[in-house]
């Protein structure tokens, strides 16, 4: 059961990484800020600009 | 005792692997069960991972967990961040898995299941995974530098420039060919077209939801988007049966091509948060979910492979694409075995997130093995239906005949029985008007996937749903490659044009954005329209061109990797990357040469142009078709020229590399390893 829980946590962590939610949390921590709509938009500007400047795989 | 048990376990894995490979290689006559392929692949992957990759990691790369990675040394909370090994594995896999490993094996199944399967397994273990792994390692030791930067630093300026131009050209061909796959899948299909069209307002809704209503709730928003997409699949059936709505969503190839081109332009110019990013989130989750479902489905259903081990088309007369098994099987399957594009990912985000050097082993090498396994699953799905149906769906009208009767007679004449009634029934079962001549691989793969999912339990209605679900899945993430690719191409072009006129280099200057986006969509749009108008279905000319380009990029990556290994150890371990490089060079140069200069018009672009020219001069072309024929002649010459440009670019980097290697070996050139200096890690285990 514990192994299953660990696996579930890992899957959730992966989904949060893929969805940039973890990156947003890191961004808040790194800049000592709290979540707000404005902050999320600021994060998105930077994050998405860098993300979509790289080629996507075929 | 533990050691003996370990040896025994690996002995059993080796025996099972060898037995399964032997079985699929020598079994003839009766259909082979797909489990033989699955077991053979898994055993070879396990052995490759445990022994070969570990040898490369320990002896060649000398990975060292005491050395701080860039993620730790340059940690900034953005790009550089130490990340859990398994999370990064999933992240890297999601980044390298595109439509290639699904479509390539489906097309290559025209040779039979065996050649493609062996190439996918062996190519990945000895070539593709090694390339991904070594480039990831090299980038990780160089502060996360890109392939282009490493090529410039390790080989020279020619290498860096060549890598940049090659990537831009490859992207143009890639975007055209994957767009063609979508166009061919949606042609004359109001159900499919409606579902895909619906994903665009859904993505915009998701974008607004994330930006204004629930900022930061990406997972929640993606669940909502997924529910709406599934609803649109059900609504698509209603649209397809509605006499009012169906005509609004029924288009021919050209209409759909124009729609995809307009979409690419909009996605490149609109704010990224509005359309591109929400689609990308949705596509990533759907992609991972479907790959998992397909794996479970195959294990549950264990379908028999209906296609033989080899078909008669190994002689080069295949209807899907022309050319002999060598070199074209190895060009057609790129991403499942070895893909140059992966080197861009391995030198992109991933090296900046690795917490420990040894994590590169499962992430770099292991992710590619998983991608290879996806290709094996695609091969199984493609071969799970009757061969006659497979060829009926994938063969262009220009090869098998325009009418159902003519096509059925041609395909049955090849020894793969199929009847018009059988195809009509199948089309009705999946809710389509017709399934003849649906080239590109996507409909055929969707049929295979729907067949597998339906066997788990379901009726005709379920088959219809799964077929359109699979089409939605393929089109969704292909369109994500198109929109992101167009945007990246735009940035690259702006970067180059900025050196000529500074305002063009500003990525937020609207005229510059519009001009460069137009230039990129026109470039790939031209090849797309060329493919749509091609009487042989377009895949015959464009897919090999894409395969050659992708493998040539892999050759560039392997040149960089070989140079680095030579600088690290001298000639001792050069063979690790030199052997796949030599193989790829032989394969791609042979394929490119044949595509340009073969005397057979279906294979050689120039022969095709000459044949059409002769027909024109002999007055065999109707007056109404003269303009179209002239365009076909121009396109054939253009394709030959593109092939030639690829060869020249890669020859430049190969010559540059070989000169450097000879210089290093005879002592006339410096052997400097340009790694970041060693810094001991301070990262604690609990931080990972």
State residue B165's pLDDT score: 82
Task: Report the C-alpha gap between B469 and B297 in whole angstroms.
Answer: 15
Chain A within 8 Å of B84 (Cβ-Cβ)?
yes
Which pLDDT band, with edges at 50, 70 and 90, does B687 fall under? low
The per-residue pLDDT for range B308-365, each reduced to its tens digit, is 999 999 999 999 999 999 999 999 998 899 999 899 899 988 999 999 999 999 999 9
Whether residue B98 and residue A46 make contact (CB cut-off 8 A), yes or no, is: no
Bridge partners, residue B83, by sequence: B354
Rounded to a whole number of angstroms, the distance from the CA of B196 to the nearest CA of chain A is 19
Task: Report the C-alpha gap between B345 and B596 in whole angstroms.
Answer: 30
State residue B494's pLDDT score: 86
φ, ψ of residue B273 to 5 degrees: the values are -70, -20
Partners of residue A35 in chain B, C-beta under 8 Å: 215-216
The average pLDDT across B499-526 equals 89
- On whether the CB atoms of residues B439 and B539 are closer than 8 A, the answer is yes
Whether residue B211 and residue A24 make contact (CB cut-off 8 A), yes or no, is: no
Chain B within 8 Å of A58 (Cβ-Cβ)?
yes
Chain B within 8 Å of A42 (Cβ-Cβ)?
no
Whether residue A54 and residue B344 make contact (CB cut-off 8 A), yes or no, is: yes
Partners of residue B341 in chain A, C-beta under 8 Å: 55, 57-58
Interface of B with A in 531-570 (CB under 8 A): 546, 550
* Residue B596 pLDDT > 90: yes
Rounded to a whole number of angstroms, the distance from the CA of A19 to the nearest CA of chain B is 6
Partners of residue A27 in chain B, C-beta under 8 Å: 77-78
Statement: the pTM of the whole predicted model exceeds 0.90: yes
State residue B685's pLDDT score: 75
Rounded to a whole number of angstroms, the distance from the CA of A32 to the nearest CA of chain B is 11
How large is the ipTM?
A: 0.94
Task: Report the C-alpha gap between B47 and B12 in whole angstroms.
Answer: 11
Per-residue DSSP letters for B242-303? -TTTGGGG---HHHHHHHHHHHHHHHHHS-TTTTHHHHHHHHHHHHHHHHHHHHHHHHHH-P
Which of B87, B167, B212 is opposite residue A55, by nearest beta carbon?
Answer: B167
* Residue B262 pLDDT > 90: yes
Partners of residue A44 in chain B, C-beta under 8 Å: 211, 273, 277
A24-33, B215-224, B439-448, B484-493: the lowest-pLDDT one = B484-493
Whether residue A40 and residue B99 make contact (CB cut-off 8 A), yes or no, is: no
Which of B96, B219, B272 is opposite residue A16, by nearest beta carbon?
Answer: B219
CA distances from B500 to B355, B464, B493, B497, B504 (A): 41, 54, 11, 5, 8
Whether residue B83 and residue A17 make contact (CB cut-off 8 A), yes or no, is: yes
Residue by residue, what is the 3-state secondary structure of B593-661? HHHHHCCCCCCCHHHHHHHHHHHHHCCCCCHHHHHHHHHHHHHHHHHHHHHHHHHHHHHHHHHHHHHHH
Chain A within 8 Å of B498 (Cβ-Cβ)?
no
Partners of residue A23 in chain B, C-beta under 8 Å: 78, 81
- On whether the CB atoms of residues B130 and B577 are closer than 8 A, the answer is yes
The per-residue pLDDT for range B36-73, each reduced to its tens digit, is 999 999 999 999 999 999 999 999 999 999 999 999 99
How many inter-chain contacts (A to B, CB under 8 Å) are there? 124
Which of A21, A47, A57 is opposite residue B98, by nearest beta carbon?
Answer: A57
Whether residue A13 and residue B87 make contact (CB cut-off 8 A), yes or no, is: yes
Residue with structure tokens 């930077």? A46
* Residue B300 pLDDT > 80: yes
State residue B290's pLDDT score: 93
Rounded to a whole number of angstroms, the distance from the CA of B420 to the nearest CA of chain A is 35
Whether residue B90 and residue A14 make contact (CB cut-off 8 A), yes or no, is: yes
Task: Report the C-alpha gap between B51 and B583 in whole angstroms.
Answer: 22
State residue B688's pLDDT score: 66
Task: Report the C-alpha gap between B258 and B246 in whole angstroms.
Answer: 19
Q: Is the model more confident about B257 or about B487?
A: B257
Burial classification of residue B243, based on how many CB atoms lie within 10 Å of its CB (0-12 exposed, 13-18 middle, 19 or more buried): exposed
Partners of residue A26 in chain B, C-beta under 8 Å: 77-78, 81
Whether residue A57 and residue B218 make contact (CB cut-off 8 A), yes or no, is: no
Q: Which helix (H) or strand (E) holds B33?
A: strand B32-33
Question: Which residues touch B80 (CB under 8 Å, ≥6 apart)?
Answer: B70, B71, B73, B74, B144, B352, B353
Task: Report the C-alpha gap between B621 and B605 in whole angstroms.
Answer: 19
The per-residue pLDDT for range B97-150, each reduced to its tens digit, is 888 899 999 999 999 999 999 999 999 999 999 999 999 999 999 999 989 889
Interface of B with A in 94-153 (CB under 8 A): 94-100
Residue of A nearest to B215 (CA): A37
Whether residue B341 and residue A57 make contact (CB cut-off 8 A), yes or no, is: yes
Partners of residue B348 in chain A, C-beta under 8 Å: 54
Which pLDDT band, with edges at 50, 70 and 90, does B653 fall under? confident
Which pLDDT band, with edges at 50, 70 and 90, does B76 fall under? confident
Whether residue A58 and residue B178 make contact (CB cut-off 8 A), yes or no, is: yes
State residue B27's pLDDT score: 74
Rounded to a whole number of angstroms, the distance from the CA of A8 to the nearest CA of chain B is 12
φ, ψ of residue B680 to 5 degrees: the values are -70, 140
Interface of A with B in 11-40 (CB under 8 A): 13-21, 23-24, 26-27, 29-31, 35-37, 40
The per-residue pLDDT for range B158-193, each reduced to its tens digit, is 777 777 788 888 889 989 999 999 999 999 999 999
């Amino acid at each position: 059961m514990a192994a299953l829980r660990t696996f579930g946590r890992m899957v959730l962590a992966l989904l949060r990484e893929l969805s940039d939610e973890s990156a947003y949390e890191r961004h808040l921590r790194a800049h000592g800020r709290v979540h707000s709509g404005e902050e999320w938009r600021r994060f998105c500007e930077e994050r998405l600009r860098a993300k979509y400047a790289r080629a996507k795989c075929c | 005792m533990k050691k003996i048990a370990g040896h025994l376990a690996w002995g059993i894995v080796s025996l099972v692997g060898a037995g399964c490979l032997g079985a699929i290689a020598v079994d003839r006559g009766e259909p082979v069960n797909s489990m033989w392929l699955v077991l053979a692949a898994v055993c070879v992957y396990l052995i490759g991972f445990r022994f070969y990759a570990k040898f490369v990691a320990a002896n060649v790369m000398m990975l060292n967990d005491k050395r701080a990675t860039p993620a730790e040394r340059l940690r900034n909370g953005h790009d550089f961040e130490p990340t859990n090994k398994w999370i990064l594995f999933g992240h890297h896999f999601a980044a390298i898995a595109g439509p290639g490993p699904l479509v390539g094996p489906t097309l290559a199944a025209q040779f039979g299941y065996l050649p493609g399967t062996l190439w996918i397994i062996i190519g990945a273990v000895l070539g593709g995974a090694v390339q991904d792994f070594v480039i990831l390692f090299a980038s990780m030791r160089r502060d996360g530098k890109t392939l282009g930067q490493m090529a410039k630093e390790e080989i020279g300026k020619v290498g860096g420039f060549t890598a940049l131009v090659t990537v831009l050209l490859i992207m143009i061909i890639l975007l055209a060919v994957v767009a063609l796959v979508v166009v061919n899948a949606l042609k004359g299909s109001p159900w499919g077209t409606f579902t895909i069209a619906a994903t665009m307002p859904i993505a915009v809704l998701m974008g607004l939801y994330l930006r204004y209503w629930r900022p930061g709730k990406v997972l929640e928003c993606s669940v909502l988007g997924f529910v709406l997409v599934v609803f649109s699949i059900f609504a698509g059936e209603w649209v397809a049966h509605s006499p009012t709505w169906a005509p609004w969503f029924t288009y021919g190839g050209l209409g759909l091509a124009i729609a995809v081109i307009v979409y690419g332009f909009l996605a490149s110019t609109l704010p990224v948060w509005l359309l591109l990013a929400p689609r990308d989130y949705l596509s990533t989750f759907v992609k991972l979910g479907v790959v998992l479902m397909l794996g479970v489905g195959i294990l549950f259903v264990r379908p028999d492979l209906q296609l033989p081990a080899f078909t008669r088309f190994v002689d080069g007369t295949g209807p899907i694409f022309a050319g002999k098994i060598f070199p074209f099987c190895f060009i057609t399957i790129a991403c499942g075995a070895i893909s140059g594009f992966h080197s861009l990912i391995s030198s992109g985000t991933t090296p900046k997130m690795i917490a420990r050097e040894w994590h590169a082993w499962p992430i770099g090498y292991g992710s590619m093995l998983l991608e290879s396994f996806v290709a094996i699953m695609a091969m199984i799905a493609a071969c799970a239906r009757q061969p006659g149906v497979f060829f009926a769906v994938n063969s262009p009208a220009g090869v098998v005949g325009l009418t159902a009767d003519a096509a059925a007679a041609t395909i049955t004449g090849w020894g793969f029985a199929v009847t018009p009634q059988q195809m009509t029934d199948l089309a009705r079962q999946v809710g389509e008007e017709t399934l003849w001549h649906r080239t590109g691989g996507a409909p055929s793969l969707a049929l295979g996937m729907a067949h597998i999912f339906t066997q788990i339990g379901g009726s005709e209605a379920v088959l219809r749903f799964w077929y359109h679900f699979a089409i939605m899945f393929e089109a969704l993430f292909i369109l994500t490659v198109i929109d992101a690719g167009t945007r990246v191409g735009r940035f690259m072009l702006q970067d180059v044009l900025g050196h000529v006129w500074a305002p063009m280099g500003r990525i937020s200057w609207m005229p510059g954005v519009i001009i460069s986006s137009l230039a990129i969509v026109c470039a790939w749009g031209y090849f797309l329209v060329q493919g749509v108008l091609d009487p042989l279905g377009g895949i015959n000319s464009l897919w090999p061109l894409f395969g050659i380009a992708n493998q040539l990029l892999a050759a560039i990556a392997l040149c960089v990797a070989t140079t680095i290994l030579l600088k690290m150890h001298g000639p001792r371990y050069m063979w690790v990357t030199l052997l796949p490089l030599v193989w790829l060079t032989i394969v791609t140069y042979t394929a490119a040469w044949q595509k340009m200069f073969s005397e057979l018009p279906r294979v050689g672009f120039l022969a095709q142009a000459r044949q059409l020219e002769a027909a024109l001069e002999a007055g065999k072309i109707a007056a109404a078709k003269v303009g179209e024929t002239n365009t076909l002649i121009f396109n054939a010459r253009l394709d030959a020229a593109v092939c030639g440009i690829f060869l020249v670019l890669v020859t430049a980097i190969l010559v540059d590399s070989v000169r450097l290697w000879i210089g290093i070996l005879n002592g006339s050139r410096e052997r400097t390893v340009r790694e970041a200096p060693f810094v001991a890690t301070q990262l604690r285990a609990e931080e990972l």
